[in-house]
Amino acid sequence: MIKVDSLKHTFTIGKKGKENRVEVLKGINFNIESKEIVAIVGKSGSGKSTLLQILAGFLKADSGSIIINNTEIAHFSEKESAAFRMNHFGFVFQNFQLLPGQTVFENIELPLKLKGIRQPVRKKKVQEILKKVGLMEVEDHYPNELSGGQQQRVAIARAMITNPPIILADEPTGSLDSQTEQDILLLIQQLNKNEGITFVIITHDEEVASIANRKLRMSDGFLVGGTKYAF
């Protein structure tokens, strides 16, 4: 499903005339199969979030290849990247990124509206997702009326609503307490098993990474590991 080959990326920092080039990704190679949960683990500054942004098409790599579902995406234009994202990815972030003025239902519905899906179809799909993530009773609530765990469930539901084959999750439990973290990790495992969604999880937390089929470890711009773990 995902094949990354010789991926390199460099940031330029400093004032004009005194720029320094910092090599963040130094030749990344890995494959991810359909229906896997893969954790990319590393300390802050290891390059893991940069890698996620490049996979999603928010950032362009300097060189290398990214093939997703048999499509080479590394050299897409911004317009091509946006269209590909909408059809292939869902996103879950540490800080939820919900719209405060929109209800739970409206937050989850938004990607369908952006795709031009008719209202009756949107309503049916949102209600189905609400049931799957256990949020039927709060569909008319606003984000500030929810617990952190409920907000992250809304974010996961929004990520799922367009039936993407891949969900990219950046520190999905980083702002949650330990019990709520376990609830969210269990939900991810259930969605992977029952819906066949492939999860790529960026984390520094070994406990979060423990739910993965494989862990890939980022260190100083390199990627190592790939061992399979049994549940």
Report yes or no: 210 and 13 within 8 Å, Cβ to Cβ.
Answer: no
Note if the pTM is more than 0.85: yes
pLDDT one-digit tens code per residue, 164-174: 999 999 999 98
CATH architecture of 2-99+147-226: 3-Layer(aba) Sandwich (3.40)
Tokens 């590991």 map to which residue? 225
pLDDT confidence band for 175 (50 / 70 / 90): confident
Q: How many Cα atoms are found within 13 Å in the side-chain-facing hemisphere of 35? A: 5
Is the pLDDT assigned to residue 229 strictly greater than 70?
Answer: no
Mean pLDDT calculated for residue range 118-139: 95
pLDDT of residue 231: 32
Mean pLDDT calculated for residue range 159-168: 95
pLDDT of residue 226: 55
Mean pLDDT calculated for residue range 161-189: 93
Residue 106's closest CA among 51, 61, 161, 187?
Answer: 161
pLDDT one-digit tens code per residue, 205-224: 999 999 999 999 998 888 87
pLDDT of residue 44: 83
Mean pLDDT calculated for residue range 141-151: 96
Rg of the chain over all Cα atoms, to the nearest angstrom: 18
Mean pLDDT calculated for residue range 18-26: 85
Residue 213's closest CA among 49, 38, 6, 10?
Answer: 38
pLDDT one-digit tens code per residue, 49-105: 899 999 999 999 999 999 999 999 998 999 999 999 989 999 998 889 999 999 999
pLDDT exceeding 70 applies to what percent of the chain?
A: 97
pLDDT one-digit tens code per residue, 82-98: 999 989 999 998 889 99
CA distance 107 to 130: 11
